[in-house]
Amino acid sequence: MKENKKQNWRSKLHIIIYEADTPKGKLFDVVLLFAIIASIVLVMLESVEWIDNKYHDILDISEWIITILFTIEYIARIVVVKKPIKYITSFYGIIDLLSTIPNYLTLFFAGSPPLVAFRALRLLRVFRVLKLTRYIGESTNFVRALKASRAKITVFLFFVVILCIILGTVMYLVESKESGFTSIPRSVYWAIVTLTTVGYGDIAPITPLGQFIASIIMIMGYGIIAVPTGIVSSEMTKVSKKDVQTNTQSCPSCASEHHRDDAEFCHQCGHKL
């Protein structure tokens, strides 16, 4: 009976922590979201020197409160869930662990900042908590289109990288070293900065020939940027056309398909759908 009670208590907590349909579950998610945002703002403020100097103690204490809260949450998640191993090895499980660890490490080592970056990853939870994907509308279509585009865009970006290596090498040979093209890796970096139209200007060609080649690269970049956009656009148009305008219902009389969603009669034989 005690076991049953405990079970009951666990399933209640499970609903609060893992589901967001009950008022309590919603409250938990919102509080968690604010805690995540607070933890990130904290890490950000700590990195600003003058703030850290002035409010070091307050920041330190807040940091520990957040860390302990996250630790409790992490343990609660493990306790409550039926298959803890599955949660621990899941994407969110690993992120949850990694975002609690860094502060504990500071007890043993002086400053272990590299892991704080994982805390920002917790922000991805915002999509789950706020159910933002709901706003995407026909999200399955959207995701399907992105997946169909992904492979093509990967190949495209791969091609862009090779192009940048070639163009960077050429620019290294052409440009004088005073203008920043001191090595091939740096020149390749410059080619990427240019082709993607970012254009910092920390490295910029100064010789006429270098500027001429740079102009060609820029105009190429202007034309090339159309390719990924074209891929995504066409995939999305294709996907949205399939599903939105017609449905999969087939006419009981003539078996014609692709009727409009609001059609009540078959557009081929006039039979009632």
The nearest distance, CB 77 to a copy of itself, in angstroms, is: 21
Residue 106: CB minimum distance to a copy of itself, A: 15
Cα 121 from chain centre: 9
Residue pair 178/206 in contact by the 8 Å Cβ criterion: yes
Q: How far apart are CA 22 and CA 99, in angstroms?
A: 27
**At its nearest, how many Å lie between a copy of itself and the CB of residue 85?**
27
Burial grade of 120 (CB within 10 A; 0-12, 13-18, 19 or more):
middle
- Amino acid symbol at 34: F
Q: How far is the CB of 19 from a copy of itself (least distance, A)?
A: 22
Nearer to a copy of itself, 72 or 151 (CB): 151
Residue closer to a copy of itself by CB (options 140, 196) is 196
The residue among 61 and 206 lying less far from a copy of itself, judged by its C-beta, is 206
For the bound state, the minimum distance from the C-beta of residue 105 to a copy of itself, rounded and expressed in Å, comes to 14
Residue 21 to residues 28, 42, 204, 228, 268: CA-CA distances in angstroms? 11, 30, 55, 39, 45
Least Cβ distance, residue 173 to a copy of itself (angstroms): 5
Nearer to a copy of itself, 77 or 122 (CB): 122
Nearer to a copy of itself (CB atom), residue 14 or residue 152: 152
223-260 in b/e form (b: 16+ CB < 10 A) is ebeeeeeebbeebbeebeeeeeeeeeeebeeeeeeebe
Q: Which is nearer to a copy of itself, 15 or 243 (CB)?
A: 243
Match 């056309």 to its residue by tokens: 241
Q: Are 252 and 271 in contact (CB under 8 A)?
A: yes
Nearer residue to a copy of itself within complex by CB, 108 or 135: 135
Beta carbon of residue 17, minimum distance to a copy of itself (angstroms, whole number): 22
Q: 255 Cβ partners below 8 Å, 6+ apart?
A: none
